[in-house]
Amino acid sequence: MKTQKISYAASEECFFDLMIPNEEQVCGPIIVLIHGGYWRTELTNATLTPLQQKIASEGFICCNVEYRRGKKSPWPTPLKDVRNAITQIKDRFKALSIILIGHSVGGQLSLLNADIVDKVIGLAPVTDLIYTRDKNLGDSAVTEYYGQFASDELLKQASPIHHLPLACSLSLIIHGANDQRVHIETSLNYFRDNLSKKNNLDMLVLHDMPHGEIIQPQQEHISLMIQWIKKYSSFTEKEIEQKI
């Protein structure tokens, strides 16, 4: 396994950790991970390192993105950073398709960047900021980050549910029915509203899956997620020719 830290902008927070399996294991596409944390700085991309290791062990090149957030990096800074990282990853691996996997707010950032990738997977994604604000989810995270007087229009612009249908070819949402940090109702509404416009979204509802545990690599649904990736991805020799 080969690992490397790569900067995609001048800020020390703008980097991704690249993990490449042994050459004989490598298969397409590129997997890009986007962590959550409700726009706060306490959680970093290290929260997804165990998941990155699991994905790389399955033969995928995997990038784990860090981005600017917190009060010093107001919206849309996180969105622009993630888009910049994706663009540079695409330039680096020109022959390969891209699948985003985002957890929580990382799911928000992934779904909002669906137009420049092939597929998106949301793990308990934040899709509706007005709902999240009104329910005071994430310890009033929306009000804390976007401001007490943030307009509904601004929150709609930052909400994937107001950017449907999904622009990518296919997507998957995995969500726990008992998630208290991001309510499953938001994912069900997102699934329903997208389905009314386009049939390119699958959904897996987990009976018992707290918000923080959904990213744990030993969970059964992670194996199902990897099976989904392999099912809907092509693995030709031509595709895995790469420039590393």
Local confidence pLDDT in tens for the 244 residues of the chain:
899 999 999 999 999 999 999 876 777 899 999 999 999 999 999 999 999 999 999 999 999 999 999 999 999 999 999 999 999 999 998 867 999 999 999 999 999 999 999 999 999 999 999 999 999 999 999 999 999 999 999 999 999 999 999 999 999 999 999 999 999 999 999 999 999 999 999 999 999 999 999 999 999 999 999 999 999 886 544 444 444 4
Number of other residues whose CB lies within 10 A of the CB of residue 20 = 18
The pTM score is 0.95
Interatomic CA distance for residues 190 and 45, integer angstroms: 26
Question: Could you identify the residue written with the tokens 């695409």?
Answer: 90
- Closest alpha carbon to 164 in 126, 137, 193, 185: 193
What are the extents of the domains in the chain?
2-231
What pLDDT is stored for residue 244 in this prediction?
A: 46
Q: Which of 21, 13, 26 is nearest to 66 (CA)?
A: 13
Residue type, 199: N
Integer Cα distance of 1 and 156 in angstroms: 41
Residue whose C-alpha is closest to residue 106's, from 150, 45, 157, 147: 45
* Domain with residues 2-231, CATH architecture: 3-Layer(aba) Sandwich (3.40)
SS3 of the chain: the string is: CEEEEEECCCCCCCEEEEEECCHHHCEEEEEEEECCCCCCCCCCHHHHHHHHHHHHHCCEEEEEEECCCCCCCCCCHHHHHHHHHHHHHHHHCCCCCEEEEEECHHHHHHHHCHHHCCEEEEECCCCCHHHHHHCCHHHHHHHHHHCCCCCHHHHHHCCHHHCCCCCCCEEEEEEECCCCCCCHHHHHHHHHHHHCCCCCEEEEEECCCCHHHCCCCCCHHHHHHHHHHHHCCCCCCCCCCCCC
Q: What is the pLDDT of residue 65?
A: 99
* 3-state SS record for 28-76: EEEEEEECCCCCCCCCCHHHHHHHHHHHHHCCEEEEEEECCCCCCCCCC
